[in-house]
Chain A
Amino acid sequence: MTWGVVQVFADQEPHIPGKDETMIPPNETFYGALQKKGVTRRRFLKFCTAMTATLALPPRYVAQVASALEKTKKPVLVWLQFQDCAGNSEAILRSSHPSVLEVVLDLLSWEYHEIIMAGAGHQAEAALQRVVKEEKGKYLAVVEGAIPLADDGVYCTVAGKTAISIAKEVCTNAAATIAAGACAWYGGLVAASPNPTGAVGISEAVPEAKVVNLGGCPQNPANTAAVLVHYLTFGELPALDQYNRPLFAYGRVIHDQCERRAHYDAGRYVQEWGDEGHRRGWCLYKMGCKGPQTTFNCPSVRFNDSTSWPVKAGHGCVGCGGYNFWETKSPFYERLPNVPGFGADVSAGKIGIGITAAVAGATVVHGIASAVRDRMRTTPPPEKI
């Protein structure tokens, strides 16, 4: 039972023969399923190559990835959505990249995804229940969105159950949970100050769950696919950093991979939106680019079929892949954060220059006063010398 997920997308892909074969049994091998859909071996290997590159593995792993995927049985996946904007779902759906689309959709047997499942109501919830019971310990869960904990979690309910109770049930029984996007990781925008709903990420809400965090707003679908491919190829999750983010995607600073980096080093900066430097593609450092502070693989993997990413499109990085970026990387168009206790339009530089000037002024005044004091001293008689 696959809720017609694949059907929706097969309809958008007229060039794939055999598109009416949409019901792929969950226990079929992945490659078999792809073949049925008419995906050629060439395209399959292209996908394997792209995934191997995303995982930062050397090319000789392509064969291993391919043979593992050929044999692998389609694991079941459920996609939960809580306090979110559906941006991570959209990011996956927008990837017209045939390989990512087909693979993410066909690699797995998608049993539950609110946005794209055909079923609704009791039928849909029954499918989720079936997965949790029958596939216990074997299925993968993807969580999108934050989980509110304030007031017993009433600020987000699905089918009459709170997000926290659904997450507890689904994520503790899953083989692994992927937190897709900033909100699922640590609460994201929803948890940004003042966080009225007490939103947290999945690791905090369900500490027992085995979680891979894919930060970003949204996460990059290529990375999500690569995590799945890694899991299917090697039977384990990829190496993770201290935030449980995969190192292949979050191990390097954006600034070190950026195509505008030569302009940064040369000292050529955009000073104003639309100025000469901006038109010539110079570095966005002075426009508040947070590329130097953020680790992510956007410059190499990019979004929308590797078409572009924010800096390539001419906008500075806002650091969405970093922890708590709404708080720590803002203001997005300034070099440094605001100084706590001062207003939003007083920069650290202005405060610093102000303090320095005040000290200089006070020193001048003190100097004059000291000179006066010195003059007022009584002169001792000359014989004392």
Chain B
Amino acid sequence: MGSLAPGQHAWSEAHRPYPTTLPVRTYVWELPVRVSHWFIVLSIAVLSFTGYYMHNPFIVATSRTQFLMARIRFIHEIAAAVFISAFILRMYWFFVGNDWSSWRSFWPIHKRQWRGMGQMVAYYSFLKKDLVHHVGHNALAAVTYLLMFTFMLLEIITGLTLYTWVRGSWLLGWLFRWIPGVIDIQHLRLLHFCIMFTFFAFVIHHVYSAVLVSWEERNGLIESIFTGYKFVPRHELEEDAKLPK
């Protein structure tokens, strides 16, 4: 907050130990995590715009030769390929990445993660004044990401099913052609369309909470998704290293 005098800061009593150990520049997000993150962001932006146009072509072309819809669909399909690739890269990194990007950090398998979720909910709902610090994801964020990964997977499955409805290879056909027999193609489209809005809602919340937490923790959280480094006080880092993974 800009109203603080020089030399002052807004950390509360709970943050007391913070300045007592110096922040360590820590490599948290490895390159594949950052790369997949940004490709997913970009491709979702493109997919949402082109997808919305395919749902409701709000621009009606006057030209006979510009093939507006055909091109938009083409871009959707290319962006989908990028999206799927980035998604697969991230899934792969679940298994070979560091502790903070491992699949284990997403599933609430430890009691402390459930406790952590409770603490985050209490913080967000103003029942608790201070944020508990985490080196990687906090437990609440982690399950939200898990949910979003599920939605992404669903979006990929419905998208590829819509794609095989009109085109596609033997492999895609073999994988997805049975689906419209179970859920009819119109409701698959509805699902594909509705999931898009969960991304919108998520992005709003995600950007907001990143800014908020970055501000509260003063740890370079926002920068970390570009550079990979967070500034974590040594004692927090040591505590994190002691946690059973």
Contacts and interface: CB of A to CB of B under 8 A. Distances in A.
A123 interface: no
A36 B19 CA distance: 107
Contacts of A264: 69
A153 interface: no
Nearest to A369: B126
A356 B201 contact: yes
Interface stretch (B4-12, B38-46, B108-116): B4-12
A371 B216 CA distance: 10
A328 B61 CA distance: 30
Given A348-B194, A379-B9, A267 B57 contact: yes
Contacts of B124: 366
Contacts of B62: 268
Contact of B208 (A323, A352, A363): A363
Interface residues on B, range: 35 or more
Interface in B1-41: 1, 3-4, 7-13, 15-16, 19
Main secondary structure on A side of the interface with B: helix
B194 A337 contact: no
A136 to B, nearest CB: 34
Nearest to A336: B190
A339 B193 CA distance: 11
A355 B184 contact: no
A122 interface: no
A252 B238 CA distance: 62
Interface stretch (A10-18, A59-67, A96-104, A285-293): A285-293
B116 to A, nearest CB: 19
Contacts of B61: 266-268
B174 interface: no
B67 A266 contact: yes
Contact of B184 (A328, A356, A366, A380): A328
Contact of A385 (B7, B55, B129): B7
A170 B1 CA distance: 85
The 8 closest A-B CB pairs, nearest first, are A267-B68, A352-B197, A267-B61, A265-B70, A328-B184, A359-B201, A356-B200, A267-B69
Interface of B: 1, 3-4, 7-13, 15-16, 19, 55-57, 59-70, 72, 124, 126, 129, 165-166, 181, 184-187, 189-190, 193-194, 196-197, 200-201, 204-205, 208, 212, 215-216
Given A243-B181, A285-B57, 11 more contacts: A266-B63, A266-B66, A267-B66, A267-B69, A268-B62, A293-B165, A328-B186, A335-B56, A355-B201, A379-B10, A384-B16
8 contacts: A242-B181, A266-B61, A267-B67, A328-B184, A356-B197, A367-B208, A374-B1, A378-B13
